[in-house]
Amino acid sequence: MLDQNKIEGRNPVLEALKAGREIDKILVAKGSEKGSIQKIIGIAKEKKIPIQYVERQKIDQLSESHAHQGVMAFVAAYQYAELEEILQRAEQKKDAPFLLLLDGITDPHNLGSILRTADAAGVDGVIIPKRNAVGLTATVAKTSAGAVEYVPVVKVPNLSQNIDKLKRNGFWIIGADMDGEKDYYDEELTGKIALVVGSEGSGIGRLIKEKCDFLVRIPMKGKVGSLNASVAASILMYEAVRQREQKGRGDSP
């Protein structure tokens, strides 16, 4: 049985592109950029789908049909949402909108764990970039323990531009970074917010960091310099939950 997240072969990939399937990325064997593959590359570029040129051996190793013809597409296991849809739905809720932006999360287990916590914490939606990040794969879905069915995920070509859009819609953008001026529990995480979490290796990208309204840090008392991305995201999400519930009760900070 073929992996449902892969489409192999020139015609199947071409038809998937024409049909508007959500494609995370396309692998093209070096030296195969001729004929119908050229058409695939052209359509993919128009749709801003990432293309990776790799050695044919790499696709051979990933192939299950052994008839890939030098091209393989990775498709989303679940449908992505639209940002406008999330914003409209969030505005209709009693509670202030609460979003999560992920910059450079490449591990599917991390993304799955983050979605699981996002569902539990009442996050209205998660925004991820198209490039250099994992999409909604079967592994993500499994790790999320079903949360992928309930937490809307938006995949955008440019995270920075979407931050600008969120700001125009009244959101405060709060980034998690070791250079943050305040500890996360000393900053206001109520109201209309979007939390930004980066990869555990490189953190939030420079441009995204500059777009944040302010940065918060998670104190590190031990010898290890950083937390797993899903753990860091969980800490921040639940601090936002704590503050919101406290504010709803009218408690003093």
- Does residue 183 surpass a pLDDT of 90? yes
Residues 128 and 220 in one domain: yes
CATH, residue 49: 3.30.1330.30
In contact, 232 and 200? CB cutoff 8 Å: yes
Residues 152 and 207 in one domain: yes
Interacting residues of 251 by C-beta distance below 8 A, sequence separation 6+: none
Where are the extended beta strands (E) located within 3-162? 6-8, 23-29, 51-54, 71-75, 98-103, 125-129, 153-156
The strand pair at 71-75 and 23-29 is best described as: antiparallel
Write down the mean pLDDT value for the chain.
Answer: 90
- Does residue 178 surpass a pLDDT of 50? yes
Poorest-pLDDT segment among 19-23, 107-111, 153-157, 223-227: 223-227
Specify the pTM.
Answer: 0.81
- Domains in the chain, number: 2
Instruction: Specify the pLDDT at position 177.
Output: 92
Domain extent for 53: 6-75
**What are the tokens at 129?**
């970039």
Percentage of residues in the chain with pLDDT exceeding 70?
A: 96
Mean of pLDDT values over 180-201 = 93
Instruction: Specify the pLDDT at position 250.
Output: 61
Residues 140 and 208 in one domain: yes
